[in-house]
Chain A
Amino acid sequence: MKELVTIGSLIFGEHHESAEGFWVNALDPMPVLYSGIVAFILVLLVIGFNREIKKRAGELVPDAGFNLINFFELMASLVMGFFKDILGHDYRKYLPILLSLWFFILLNNLFGLIPFMAPATANVNTNAAMAVVVFIATHYYGVRAHGIKYFKQFLGPVPWLAPLMLPIELIGHFARVLSLTVRLFGNMFADHLVVAIFLFLVAPFVPIAFMTLGVLVCLIQALIFSILSTVYFSIAVSEEH
């Protein structure tokens, strides 16, 4: 495994030796830079999108071809159907965080396919940060929708079952954070590692098959993260009739 970590550090550009084995991945400063670059690019794209929208305010027929408005409309429409289905009629209140997650994760994953870059999501810290944000947002939205009675949800359906339900619900909530983190991290790290290994063991152009699979995995994992966040929000704000 030390050889793999060395190969990984050549690819990933790691510089820390104070953690050992698997956890040298967690002290890597490069993903902060990469996710910062991705966030910067996203902000530039969105500023351009705003300007284009204002220029063509009120026109019904979109321009043909690949311009900024059509790009964002395509990428957002891939997931808006799911958000509308899961969240119901007031899904627009949750769009900022959900679409941010979707675009951020998607762009981070896709950046990992550039030959000498690692996806920022291949590091545990990026994913843990996003999962903690989703966790805090769930409770914020729940309290905002239901007031303090939101916490009755943890006590289960029947009052005398509460001492059993409370630990189970709490563990379930923390397991959500862990599962969101590890799912995205495992997929991205394993995929990137497989491509890196094949790159070093075999001829230079053979891993293209794995990178094609990698595009699919990137898309699906970003989708899964967004959809699961949506489901958690909808559970938190659901009206129990």
Chain B
Amino acid sequence: MRRMYWFFSVLIGLVALSWIGYAEEGGAGAGGAGLNMGNALALLAAGATIAIAAFGGAFAQGRTASTTMEGLARNPGAQPQMFMPWIVSMALIESLVIYALVIAFMILGKVK
């Protein structure tokens, strides 16, 4: 319960800080090179994209690997059978992280 209070107060704090973003009205026109608000938000978005994706992907792959190790420990003779499905499932989970990475590249490409 306390964690939820923290979470929501952080969210409200972020919303309260949004007045910073209203400093320059001017959209695409204000897009000079360097560290203006647009570029800053783009960089932040790219970083957050890959960070969250990597977190979720690592979590899922960790669970897959741990159950595979457990099964292998119970029955070491099943190792030849187990290798390929394990590799395939890891690659399929990882592909979701790769989608997020490509989006991050696209966002970074828009930074002037």
Interface of A with B (CB < 8 Å)?
Answer: 1, 5, 20-23, 82, 179, 182-183, 185-187, 189-190, 220-221, 223-224, 227
Contact = CB atoms under 8 A, between A and B. Distances in A.
Given A220-B87, A220-B91, A182 B99 contact: yes
B108 A224 contact: no
A72 B61 CA distance: 33
Contacts of A190: 98, 101
Contacts of A20: 109
A191 B98 CA distance: 11
Interface string B75-98: 000000000100110011001001
Nearest to B108: A1
A63 to B, nearest CB: 27
A186 B91 CA distance: 12
B112 to A, nearest CB: 9
B69 interface: no
Interface of B: 84, 87-88, 91-92, 95, 98-99, 101-102, 105-106, 108-111
B99 A224 contact: no
> DSSP class of A's interface residues: helix, strand, loop or mixed?
helix
A21 B31 CA distance: 15
Given A182-B102, A186-B102, 15 more contacts: A1-B108, A1-B111, A21-B111, A22-B109, A22-B110, A179-B99, A182-B95, A182-B98, A183-B99, A186-B101, A189-B102, A189-B105, A190-B98, A220-B91, A221-B91
A236 B106 CA distance: 33
Nearest to B102: A186
A192 B76 CA distance: 36
